[in-house]
Chains A and B, each alone.
Chain A
Amino acid sequence: MAFASIFVPNFSLQAVVRAEPALGERALALIEGNPPLCSVIAVNEKAARMGIEVGMTKTDAEQFVGAETRPRSPAQETTAHAALLDIGWSVSPRIEDTALDAIVLDLSGLASLFGAEKEIGAHLVERSAACGLAVNVAIAANIETALIAARGFAGITVIPPGEEAPSLSRLSVGALSPSIETTETLSRWGVTTCGDFAKLPILDLSERLGQEGVRLHALARGASVRSLTIAEPAHFFEEEMELDDAVEELEPLSFLLGRLLDQLCVRLTARSLGAAAIRVRFELRPSFENAVDIREAFPAQRRPGLYEKEIQLPVPARDSKMLLKLLRLRLQLNPPGAPIQKIALAAEAARPRATQGGLFLPSFPDPEKLELTIARIAHVVGEGNVGAPSLADTYRPGEFQMRRFLTPREASQADGGGHGAHQPSKPRTHSKVSTSFRVFRPAVPAKLDLHAGCPTRVAFQGLRGEVIAASGPWRTSGDWWREDPWQQDEWDLEIHFQEAPEPRDRFSFASSRSNSGIYRFYYDSLRRGWFVRGVYD
């Protein structure tokens, strides 16, 4: 049995650099505290060489030319820790969430998948780098040795069974994480390395340092054995970013969203999952930070604080470029309306669906491509104007709904794999073809002359004609229990048009028409007027 420990050195700093990769190339100091007592809590190698030290004040650190300072970000640390867990779960189903900056994996049975222990270590380092983290990996026969070795040695360390004590002997006693008192005691004794500590007699140690001394002695010898506390796999994928300067324009916002989506998709890929939905949440900067609170005077007005949007995907996806394009199109349609101070992206994870088309079934549009096409069309014509029509369960004339368009394959999967509903059906073979109707939206007002209750002459949109044949009236009504009832007398009229003047509306349908046509008129009893519903064509 072997265990691997992944440790992220300088975790707080790496969490910040993960959100802004460009900072990795520069000297960086992490600041924490309330002004004016902000102090440096972590520095990277470049900043240390420049002379910036932990404990320095923020003002002193900012004096160094070329050095960047950033505040510590608990939100970034949470997402970095979640990424670390995803890296672990991508390799082993049994991992322990030991600390914010360290996890332990059970490597049992993974040799056939990933190879020797050194190769597993290299694999973990590679996946961590893809998630934006530079890690140390240590592999040993017991958990505590692996943890200590990962904290103490840089890079990949493999400790063969039985070699724990010699391997750990070089490490400082601080790697065992003793209490402050024990550290002072060991310092007075001149015990500096784990090897020196392991040579001390355990009975005398227990008398002087108690149970802690015994525990640390076992750790130093690599003899501490315990079982793994297995963590439950999380299905929560969220990336956050707090901005120093609020962003208002779409272009820089797209750049930041792209970065967050890349990180999200890498984590999803590591877990072999896809995003079934993406939720974006913006914290907006208030419009007037120092303005008088006028909410009392105008209670209907609310200061914008939060912007939320959800994009449902037809199939789980993890293509960050496609997701970014979808997000951009939605944001262009509905912009936030205020500068953005904080961005949070969450993905609803789902297993990617493997589908296979039938040999004799026609091909369908690619779901991801189709979703992007529909989003682009919605950007042109408006969000509610593209989709699949669906008849409403009502007798109200012309009532329908626009539903989300799904290809037959997606629709059958959404129904639970039902067969038959979307299979080809036998084509019609009869010679008569059903008439179709063209609707005028909105209905066109008309003037009619009646004789004995039957229309004889009509006039609408600059056209005049005589009625040749009439069918009606056919009364329809309904929804009398609602606030918008309807009652109409419908007529199908064959009209012979006279020579008419130029239609008033240059976009009128009647600019090019034949001498006669069959139209549907109706008299709205509630609005007391005649209208043209449409034409048979």
Chain B
Amino acid sequence: MSSKTSALRLQVESALARRGGLAARVASPFQYRDRPVVETAPTGVPPIDLLTGGLPRGSLTEIYGPPCSGRTSLLVSALAMRTAAAEVCALVDARDAFDPHSAETAGVRLQQLLWVRCRNVDQALRATDLLIQGGGFGMIALDLGDTPARVVRYVPLQVWFRFRRAVEHTPTIFLVVEQESNAKTCASLVLSLHAQETRWAQTGGAESGGEIVLSHSPGCLLDGWESRAETIRSHPAEIRSQCSPAELSAAFWLSSKCSSEGGFKQR
């Protein structure tokens, strides 16, 4: 840096310091600071991990989409990865919709999962606040997937902002699952999911002349379906701006591991 530039920088900084108030809070405004490296954790869905780099720690991540879009499967996969890494996780379930059977089949270690069964959004937000303040969790998931979107819209933005500030500088992944995005700029990563193709074993049904033809045969089983995830927001923003639309979305296959013979329990 030339002497002229240094002198100018010193002059500006001292003027700001003399001014006091808000300006004095900006200490050394021209000092170079390294961008903090955001640590991420895998979701367990390789296409999603390639797309996003993983779930960022110390940040708010939103996954939204309509029912049957794969949101819960992605949430459970992330829980399975965290509990497999011997981390303690918490799930705040706003409508008591969590299924321990399918979660265990997906690999979640249930004894490492603190499940909070709520009856409404207010209870869910209060429980989430307490968990984030308590600290020590590898992942805290807030499941608002079954709460109507118009109810979640009433949650003030400062609630999301407070959550984001509370998890900042902690190793906790804060994941919110809902029907539409509400956290706006408070979320570091926003994924939109929607279902695409569903596959049934031993089926061949298709639309015929605009009518839907029922496909059913004895022994017909649900094979799975394909979901597509699109990155709506991610950090760093400049990388996103350099990507083509195709590079901002990824498809992944959700497989129904077990038969439809009445439950996920292995027999």
* A residues at B contact (CB < 8 Å): 361-366, 369-370, 372-374, 376-377, 380-381, 385-391, 395, 397-398, 400, 402-403, 405-408, 411, 422-429, 431-441, 451, 454, 456, 466-472, 474-476, 488, 490-492, 494, 496, 506-514, 516-518, 520, 534-537
Picked from A405, A433, A476, the residue with its CB within 8 Å of the CB of B252 is: A433
Q: What are the interface flags for B218-232 relative to A under an 8 Å C-beta threshold, 1 for contact and 0 otherwise?
A: 001110110000000
Chain B residues within an 8 Å CB radius of A422: 86, 112
Question: Which of B6-14, B70-78, B159-167 binds A?
Answer: B70-78
**In the complex the two chains form, what is the Cα distance from A435 to B137 in whole Å?**
25
Q: Does B111 contact A (CB under 8 A)?
A: yes
Q: B146 contacts A390, CB within 8 Å?
A: no
Contacts known (A391-B101, A488-B262); A437 close to B72, Cβ less than 8 A? yes
- Taken together as a complex, chains A and B put the C-alpha atoms of A342 and B71 apart, in Å, by 54
Selected contact of A469 from candidates B86, B103, B215, CB within 8 Å: B215
Q: Are B86 and A408 in contact (CB under 8 A)?
A: yes
Residues of B within 8 A of A370 (CB): 134, 136
Chain B 23-56: CB-based contact to A (< 8 A → 1; otherwise 0) = 0000000000000000000101111000000000
B interface residue numbers (CB < 8 A to A): 42, 44-47, 66-77, 80-81, 84-88, 95-107, 110-119, 123, 126-127, 130-131, 133-138, 145-151, 171, 179-180, 194-195, 198, 200, 203, 205, 212, 214-216, 220-222, 224-225, 252-257, 259-265, 267
Query: Which A residues are in CB contact (< 8 Å) with B45?
Result: 433
For A491, give the chain B residue with the smallest CB separation: B260
Q: How far, in angstroms, from A54 to B117 measured CA to CA in the complex? A: 63
Tell me if B257 and A434 are in contact (CB < 8 A).
yes
CA A397 to CA B263, docked complex, whole Å: 6
Contact: A365 with B214, CB < 8 Å?
A: no
Cα distance A391–B111 in the bound complex, in angstroms = 10
A400 in contact with B88 (CB, 8 Å): no
Of A389, A395, A431, which is in contact with the most chain B CB atoms at under 10 Å from its CB? A389
Say whether, besides A435-B102, A435-B254, A381 and B116 are in contact (CB < 8 Å).
yes
Residues of A within 8 A of B145 (CB): 438, 537
Decide: A366 and B136 in contact? CB cutoff 8 A: yes
Which residue, of B116, B180, B253, has the highest number of chain A Cβ atoms within 10 A? B116
A374–B88 Cα distance when bound, in Å, is 14
A536 to B126, CA, bound (A): 28
Task: Please state if A377 and B130 are interface contacts (CB–CB under 8 Å).
Answer: yes
Cβ contact within 8 Å between B96 and A434: no
The A/B interface has a contact count, at CB < 8 Å, of 282
> Using Cβ atoms and an 8 Å threshold, which residues of chain A touch B146?
438, 509
Contact across chains for B254 and A434 when beta carbons are under 8 A apart:
yes
Q: Please tell me if the beta carbons of B106 and A389 are within 8 angstroms of each other in the complex.
A: no
Nearest neighbor of B198 in chain A, beta-carbon distance: A494
| Nearest CB on A from B109, distance (A) | 8
Docked-complex contact B148 and A507, CB < 8 angstroms: yes
* Inter-subunit contact B265/A512 (CB<8 Å): no
Which residue among B115, B146, B225, B262 has the maximum number of chain A CB atoms within 10 Å of its CB?
B262
Most buried by B among A439, A456, A472, A492: A439
Closest to B213 in A: A468
Known: A411-B111, A474-B261. 8 other contacts (CB 8 A): A365-B88, A400-B101, A407-B88, A429-B46, A432-B253, A474-B259, A520-B260, A537-B70
Give complex CA distance A370, B88 in Å.
11
Given A433-B73, A437-B102, A518-B225, are A385 and B118 neighbors across the interface (CB < 8 Å)? yes
Q: Which residues of B contact A488 (CB under 8 A)?
A: 262
A361 to chain B: which residues have CB within 8 Å?
86
Given A362-B87, A380-B123, A454-B216, also A512-B66 (CB < 8 A): yes
Assess whether B68 is in contact with A517, with CB atoms less than 8 Å apart: yes
Residues of A within 8 A of B265 (CB): 391, 395
Checking A369, A398, A425, A431 against B101 with a beta-carbon cut-off of 8 angstroms, the contacting residue is A398
**Are B96's CB and A377's CB within 8 A?**
no
Q: How far is the CA of A377 from the CA of B114 in the complex (A)?
A: 11
A429 nearest CB neighbor, chain B only: B46
Measured CA separation A197–B83 after assembly (Å): 80
Chain B residue at minimum C-beta to C-beta distance from A494: B198
In the complex, what residues of A have CB within 8 A of residue B259's CB? 474
Q: By the criterion CB–CB under 8 Å, are B262 and A468 in contact?
A: no
Chain A, residue nearest B113 (CB): A388
Contact between chains at A490 and B135 (CB < 8 Å): no
Q: A119 CA to B145 CA in the complex, in Å?
A: 67
Asked whether B110 lies within 8 Å of A468 as measured between CB atoms, the reply is no
Q: CA A439 – CA B149 in complex, angstroms?
A: 19
Q: List 5 A-B contacts (CB under 8 A).
A: A434-B257, A436-B73, A474-B260, A492-B260, A509-B146
- Taking a contact as CB atoms under 8 Å apart, the answer to whether B44 and A380 are in contact is no
Residue in A386, A436, A496, A507 whose CB lies within 8 Å of B117: A386
Taking CB atoms, residues of chain A closer than 8 Å to B136 are 363-366, 369-370
Q: Which residues of A contact B212 (CB under 8 A)?
A: 466, 468, 496
Task: Establish whether residues B68 and A424, one from each chain, have CB atoms under 8 Å apart when the complex forms.
Answer: no
What is the CA–CA distance of A470 and B201 in the complex, to the nearest angstrom? 11
Known: A380-B127, A470-B220, A490-B260. A433 touches B253 (CB 8 A): yes
Query: Would you call B97 and A434 a contact (CB within 8 A)?
Result: no
CA of A513 to CA of B135, assembled, Å = 34
In the complex, what residue of chain A is closest to B97 when comparing beta carbons?
A438
B214 to A423, Cβ gap below 8 A? no
Instruction: Check A427 against B117 for contact (C-beta < 8 Å).
Output: no
- Which residues of A sit under 8 angstroms from B180, Cβ to Cβ? 512
Is B255's CB under 8 angstroms from A389's CB?
A: no
Known contacts: A436-B72, A494-B200. The answer to whether A377 contacts B116 by CB under 8 A is yes
- State in angstroms the CA–CA spacing of A516 and B148 once bound together: 17
Nearest B-chain residue to A384, judged by Cβ: B117
Residues of A within 8 A of B80 (CB): 428
Are B126 and A424 in contact (CB-based, < 8 A)? no
Pair A537/B127 contact, Cβ less than 8 Å: no
Is A470 a contact partner of B214 (Cβ separation < 8 A)?
yes
Say whether A389 contacts B113, CB under 8 Å.
yes
Instruction: Give complex CA distance A486, B115 in Å.
Output: 27
Cα–Cα distance between A395 and B267 once the two chains are bound (Å): 9
In the bound complex, residues from chain A placing their C-beta under 8 Å from that of B70 are: 537
Per the bound structure, the CA–CA distance linking A496 and B123 in Å amounts to 33
Report B-chain residues with C-beta under 8 Å of the C-beta of A362.
Answer: 85-88, 138, 171
A476:B69 contact, CB within 8 angstroms:
no
Question: Which B residues are CB-close (under 8 A) to A536?
Answer: 68, 222, 225, 256
Residue of A with least CB distance to B128: A377
**In the complex, A454→B221 CA distance in Å?**
14
Chain A's closest residue to B126 (CB) is: A380
CB distance from A398 to the nearest CB of B (A): 7
Quote the shortest CB–CB distance from B141 to chain A (angstroms). Answer: 12
> Nearest A residue to B180 by beta-carbon distance?
A512
Chain A residues within an 8 Å CB radius of B225: 435, 518, 536
Given known contacts A438-B97, A474-B260, A511-B150, is B68 in contact with A537 (CB within 8 Å)?
yes
